[in-house]
Structure 1
Amino acid sequence: MITVLFVGLAVLLFIGVPIAVCIGGAPLLAMAVAGNSRQMFIAAQRMITALDSTPLLAIPLFVYAGVIMGKGGISKQIVDFCYELFGWIDGSLGIVATIACMFFAAISGSAPATVAAIGSIMIPAMINDGYPPGFAAALVACGGIIGCIIPPSIPFVNYALITGQSVSELFAAGVIPGIIMGLALCLMTFVKARKNHWGSKTDGVHLDRVIKTFFKAIWAILMPVIILGGIYSGVFTPTEAAAVACVYGFLVAWLVYHALNPSDMMEISFEAVKTSAMILFIVATANIFSFIVSTQQVPMKLSNLVLGITHSKFLILLLINIILLINGCFMETTASTFIYTPILYPLIKKLGVDPVQFGVIIVMNLTMGLVTPPLGINLFVADGLDKRVNFNEQVKNVWPLFIALVAVLMLVTYVSGFSTFLVELMRAHK
């Protein structure tokens, strides 16, 4: 049955069947071959119960908030403020693009939304300032990954649903790794810009302009403070925080920046519904896949197999990273999370790895697939934001940035403090 499950999944993916249908169709095929009609009825029930979860409400709400932010002029205010602070450094526009991605990541929770919102402003600006189009697009595509690491994060919500871990703790665990990823991209940009003489820079920091852009951007800057501060102080749950983000984002975009009107909400709602439906369809069908995997004791068999080969925690974690990075080239993040987490979770618990740390590891691995072909969703989003960008050139420029992100991944994998430091502080104050 397991052989049919994984072979069926591979065949469906290869022939181009939509990912949600692949994940739901492969288990049904395995049940049919096994002649287990009763499990098919259970599968239908599990699709419904998979979506009957209050924490799951956070996903469509964060998607909705991300769309509002992208269309509400909030990203431009963040970019302007960052440029006044960092415009004097070599590679200033690239660094501003990365830092803006980090700010927007603390609002949207979505990598493609971050790329679209920041890239629509920064990619044309970087190209006009002398950056190669391929590098400009590659940098924003990689910066968009941070949208899934710095909280709020939709993949962390998915991981929490599967494992029962605290969403708040997972959000806290993603803060330091996300910041380090951003700093790694800034360093790579600085080195390349200085070496190749890319872009211009300002003559220094002008306090009056910094203050002026800060007050314009303060409503955007306050948004992650309100969302994350509310979660960690216990004022509201992560799901309630997503609803607060939607209301706050709309009011700021409408009343402060005058970039949205109530009449725009129909278009925004339609876009958010399309994205949310895709994610939730995958969540529903992935529950069937997880059901078959668990009933056939795949996690236990995998644990025994791996531990029979080696008991080295270092080698096992390295192998997991390699598998997940390769998988990210071919499979969407949400689907991969629901497939691999139930399989690998028992193994990492036997190894003594903190489940919250592993949540960061698996999300970092799978979201890095957003910039690796052939899937590379972020690459396609960035490619469509400026006609001067050549996709092949973008891919060539991605690899040095990707290697820098892999180095950060290794740090987070083998030095637990990067992901657990803030979590331990939270636990100590409970």
Structure 2
Amino acid sequence: MTLTLLLLFGAGLVLGVPVAVCLGLSSAITILIHDLPLNVLAQRSVNALDSTPLLAVPLFIFAATLLSATGVTNHLFELMRMIVGRLRGGVAQVNVLVSLVFSGMSGAALADIGALGGIQIKMMSEQGYSKRFAAGITIAAATIGPIFPPSIPLIIFATAAETSAVRALLAGVVPALVVTVALMIQIAVMARLRDLPRDTVRPSAAAFARKFTISLPALLAPVLMIAGLLSGYFGPTEVAGVIVAYSVLIGIVVYRTLTPRRFFTAAVETVEATANILFVVATAALFAWVLTIGRVPALAGEWLLGVSSDPLVLLLILNVVLLVAGMFLESIAAILIIAPIVAPTMLLAGVPPEQLGVVFVLNLMIGLLTPPIGMSLYMVSVITKMDFSEVVRGVLPFYIPLFVALAVVTLFPGLSTWLPELIMN
């Protein structure tokens, strides 16, 4: 049964069939061939979507599209230029910092690239950076978004692994800062070696104060979200709803740029993005059920524990598996397929669920910028009209800080568990 499923799934991928369709079609054909009950097709798919934490996904996407529609990304970019732009390689540092701030609104790598990529790469090119370098740092910085709250992949992981979504989101704060610092150190080293340019902006104190005042409402969005989670009164879904209301409020009252047409466009984009994600969730749940019937999770658990019961060794094995999977599978599909298989064994061996979620997501985000199916690479290639191979060359130096950050998060579980333990206990 398992062999049939995997062969059908692999054949679909080779033929270029979308991942969600591959998951559902291979599961349905396997169920038919092996005479399993057909009502499972509807039951498992619908039950996978009947989840309160998953309600946060469309709400966070809606909040990000609303904020992007108000034009706050331009204000954030200009503010960060004023703060660090005069450093050598300053605009590249701005790229990373804006990705960190915007990640507190979007929660997805491709959303960050879509909202910021064109602006950032154009600005860096105008400042004298090579287009290859600009594309590389833009892609690498987008890995911060899916780790820092509100992280859509972490919410999906918590749902798949049946762990606390609030703790999973809080666990991403410190590791996201680790990734940010690692990228900024890499830029500083490259700035000295390559004599990268300084920014041309020379703001006065009055101009900085004015830009900060304009940007403050947008900067308060992630603060409001994290404060809501820390308070204990709101879960991810409630916080997401508050952020949507806040985004509408500042878009209409403060920035006065959120017109009915832009609101409608943001709603349509949200529906499209949500449909794509939840289609994967539904079909992956069906795929995971067939694997469970084939005893794949049990066999995988026995094999892993047969290799070692040391949590660190198991995490290192998982890193290799996820890095390879991330090269070929869309990140949410990979989480929904792999997490139910390995999470029970990992948790039984003593791996903290918070650390496990961060390791999962960070590995798969690195997969987004790894050929042959690195979606971030293709997206930037389309935005910049650069050759795909040029984009890959641009991102190569930034594998170093990302793998360093992954090693640090893997070796030191406290980075992921400290904040959830501090707040929730």
- Compute the TM-score of the two structures, normalised by the length of structure 1: 0.94
Q: Is 1:393 the equivalent of 2:390? A: yes
Does the 8 Å contact 2:79/2:211 carry over to 1? yes
1:173-192 to 2 correspondence within 5 Å?
173-192=171-190
| Cα shift at 1:254 | 3.1
Residue 245 of structure 2 aligns to which amino acid in structure 1?
V
Question: Residue 88 of structure 1 aligns to a residue in which SS?
Answer: coil
Deviation at 1:215, TM superposition (A): 0.8
1:31 aligned onto 2:31: yes
Q: Secondary structure at the match of 2:144?
A: helix
Matched position secondary structure for 1:146: coil
Distance 1:203 1:276, change over 3 A: closer
Instruction: Say if 1:181 and 1:405, in contact at 8 Å, map to a contact too.
Output: yes
User: Which residue, out of 253, 258, 264, partners 1:255?
Assistant: 253
Partner amino acid for 2:24?
G
Query: Shift of the alpha carbon at 1:313?
Result: 3.8
State which of 156, 159, 163 in structure 2 corresponds to 1:158: 156
Question: 1:268 maps to what in 2?
Answer: 266
Equivalent in the alignment of 2:415: 418
Residues 1:212 and 2:203 aligned together: no
Corresponding residue number in structure 2 for 1:8: 8
Letter in 1 for 2:110: P
- Report how far residue 303 of structure 1 moved: 1.6
Rounded Cα–Cα distance in structure 2 between residues aligned with 1:79 and 1:264: 21
- Report what 2:22 is aligned to: 22
Deviation of 1:204 after TM superposition, in Å, equals 7.8
* d(CA) in 1 for partners of 2:312, 2:264: 51
Contact 2:232 2:424 in 1 (8 A): no
| Aligned counterpart in structure 1 of residue 167 of structure 2, from 143, 159, 169 | 169
Could you say which residue in structure 1 is the equivalent of 2:319?
321
Alignment correspondent of 1:136: 134
Pairwise CA distance, 1:253 = 2.5
Find 1:403's aligned residue among 397, 400, 405: 400
Q: In structure 1, give the amino acid aligned to 2:85.
A: G
How far, CA to CA, are the matches of 1:192 and 1:346 in structure 2? 42
Distance 2:285 2:354 in 1: 21
What is the Cα-based RMSD across aligned positions, in Å? Answer: 1.7
Distance (whole Å) between structure 1 residues aligned to residue 276 and residue 61 of structure 2: 11
| Counterpart among 83, 86, 89 of residue 84 in structure 2 | 86
Aligned to 1:46: 44
Decide whether the 8 Å contact of 1:69 with 1:108 is kept in 2.
Answer: no
Contact 2:99 2:142 in 1 (8 A): yes
**Amino acid corresponding to residue 143 of structure 1 in structure 2:** A
- Equivalent-residue separation in structure 2 for 1:153 and 1:33 (angstroms): 38
Q: Deviations over 1:252-300 (max 9, x none)?
A: 2333223320122222211111111010111111111121222322111
Q: Distance in 2 between matches of 1:203 and 1:370?
A: 33
**1:346 aligned residue:** 344
Per the TM alignment, residue 148 of structure 1 is displaced from its structure 2 partner at its CA by: 0.3
Q: Equivalences for 1:96-111 in 2 at 5 Å?
A: 96-111=94-109
Amino acid at match of 2:219: I
Give the 3-state SS of the residue equivalent to 1:145 in structure 2. Answer: coil
Q: Decide whether the 8 Å contact of 1:133 with 1:390 is kept in 2.
A: no
How far did residue 427 of structure 1 move?
3.0
2-structure distance, mates of 1:89, 1:42: 59
Q: Where does 1:114-133 land on structure 2 (aligned, <5 Å)?
A: 114-133=112-131
Aligned residues: 425
**Residue identity (%):** 34
What TM-score, normalized by structure 2, do the two folds share?
0.95
Residues 23-77 of structure 1, C-alpha deviation per residue, up to 9 Å, x if partnerless? 11222222222222x1x21222111121122221111111111212222211111
Structure 1 segment 227-376 matched on structure 2, within 5 A: 227-376=225-374
Q: Gapped runs of 5+ residues in structure 2?
A: none
Distance 1:100 1:153 in 2: 16
Contact 1:85/1:205 (8 A) holds in 2 = no
Measure the CA separation in 2 of the matches of 1:283 and 1:77.
Answer: 35
- CA drift at 1:203: 8.7
Residues 236 and 346 (structure 1 numbering): CA distance in 2 closer, same or farther, change over 3 Å? closer
Report the Cα distance in structure 1 between the residues aligned to 2:59 and 2:371, rounded to whole angstroms: 29
- 1:377 deviation in Å? 1.6
Distance in structure 1 (CA, Å) of the matches to 2:109 and 2:201:
33
| Secondary structure, counterpart of 1:259 in structure 2 | coil
How far is the alpha carbon of 1:166 from its aligned partner? 1.4
For the residues of structure 2 that align with 1:69 and 1:236, how far apart are their CA atoms?
A: 21
Query: Aligned partners of 2:198 and 2:400: how far apart in 1?
Result: 26
Give the Cα–Cα distance (whole angstroms) in 2 for the partners of residues 245 and 375 of structure 1.
33
Return the alpha-carbon distance in structure 2 between the equivalents of residues 76 and 203 of structure 1: 15
User: Is the CA contact (8 Å cut-off) linking 2:87 and 2:198 kept in structure 1?
Assistant: no
Q: C-alpha separation between the residues in 1 aligned to 2:242 and 2:204?
A: 34
CA contact (8 A) 1:84 1:206 kept: no
* 8 Å Cα contact 1:126-1:199 kept in structure 2: no
Distance 2:411 2:155 in 1: 23
